[in-house]
């Protein structure tokens, strides 16, 4: 599918995840040890939290496929590190191909939004909003991201500041806690 300087049409249904992976040209893995300071409690350094497979084509946009394992670190559900884009015009789309999740977005002015991200649906993230996805279900949360080629990923700014909300299990259910005191 990925040829030098070209890219053929391809399908992006739930059944196509293995094909996407086999054609990806970049791979990121995040285990507990890669996410020190992101959760309230320390994660087992060898525990797989999520993987990202990217297809970087020759055209205007790139794609990332995130597969996030179900589970928690302490009472917090598995989540991505979260990032801003370096480009001030770079927006992003997330579509959930499988599983049950959420997205938390935080603007440069610290405004915060959270939305469900469920199988068959998506969310639009304008530029200027840091975003983090969270698996609140019992299965792999499989997420397709679409972003402009020049987006750039800035993990540092939001890592330093932190998101103002976290997603914890409370009475067996996922709950968004704003301004947690820790």
Distance of closest approach, residue 65 Cβ to its own copies, in angstroms: 12
Query: Is residue 31 near its own copies by the rule CB under 8 A?
Result: no
CA pair distance 178, 160, nearest whole angstrom: 18
161 sits in which H/E element: helix 156-161
Query: Is residue 57 near its own copies by the rule CB under 8 A?
Result: yes
19 sits in which H/E element: helix 17-22
Distance of closest approach, residue 88 Cβ to its own copies, in angstroms: 9
Distance of closest approach, residue 99 Cβ to its own copies, in angstroms: 12
Of how many residues is the chain composed?
182
Query: Is residue 51 near its own copies by the rule CB under 8 A?
Result: no
Q: Which two tokens stand for residue 51?
A: 């993987």
Contact region with its own copies (CB under 8 A), list: 9-17, 25-33, 71-79, 165-173: 9-17
Site for its own copies in 104-133 (CB under 8 A): 105, 113, 115-116, 118-127, 129
Contact region with its own copies (CB under 8 A), list: 4-12, 66-74, 155-163, 166-174: 4-12
CA pair distance 78, 76, nearest whole angstrom: 7
CA pair distance 21, 16, nearest whole angstrom: 9
Question: By C-alpha distance, which of 95, 107, 104, 46 is closest to 76?
Answer: 104
Query: Is residue 9 near its own copies by the rule CB under 8 A?
Result: yes
Q: Which is nearer to its own copies, 35 or 135 (CB)?
A: 135
The binder of its own copies chosen from 26, 89, 139, 180 (CB under 8 A): 89
Query: Is residue 60 near its own copies by the rule CB under 8 A?
Result: yes
- The DSSP bridge partners found for residue 180 are none
The binder of its own copies chosen from 34, 48, 61, 81 (CB under 8 A): 61
- Grouping H, G, I as helix, E, B as strand and the rest as coil, residue 34 is helix
CA pair distance 72, 174, nearest whole angstrom: 11
CA pair distance 103, 125, nearest whole angstrom: 10
Binding residues vs its own copies (CB under 8 A) = 6-14, 16, 57-61, 63, 87, 89-91, 93, 95, 97, 105, 113, 115-116, 118-127, 129, 144, 146, 148, 150-151
């Amino acid at each position: 599918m990925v040829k030098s300087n070209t890219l053929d049409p391809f399908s992006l249904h739930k059944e196509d995840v293995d094909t996407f992976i086999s054609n990806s040209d970049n791979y990121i893995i995040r285990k507990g040890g890669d996410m020190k300071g992101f959760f309230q409690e320390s994660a087992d350094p060898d525990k797989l939290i999520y993987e990202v497979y990217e297809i970087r084509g020759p055209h205007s946009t790139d794609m990332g496929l995130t597969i996030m394992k179900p589970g928690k670190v302490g009472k917090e559900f598995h989540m991505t590190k979260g990032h801003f884009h370096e480009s001030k015009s770079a927006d992003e789309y997330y579509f959930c191909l499988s599983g049950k999740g959420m997205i938390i977005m935080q603007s440069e002015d610290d405004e915060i939004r959270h939305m469900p991200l469920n199988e068959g649906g998506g969310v639009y993230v304008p530029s200027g909003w840091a975003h983090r996805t969270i698996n609140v279900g019992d299965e792999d949360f499989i997420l397709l991201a679409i972003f402009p080629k020049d987006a750039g990923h800035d993990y540092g700014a939001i890592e330093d500041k932190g998101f103002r909300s976290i997603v914890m299990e409370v009475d067996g259910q996922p709950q968004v806690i704003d301004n947690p005191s820790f």
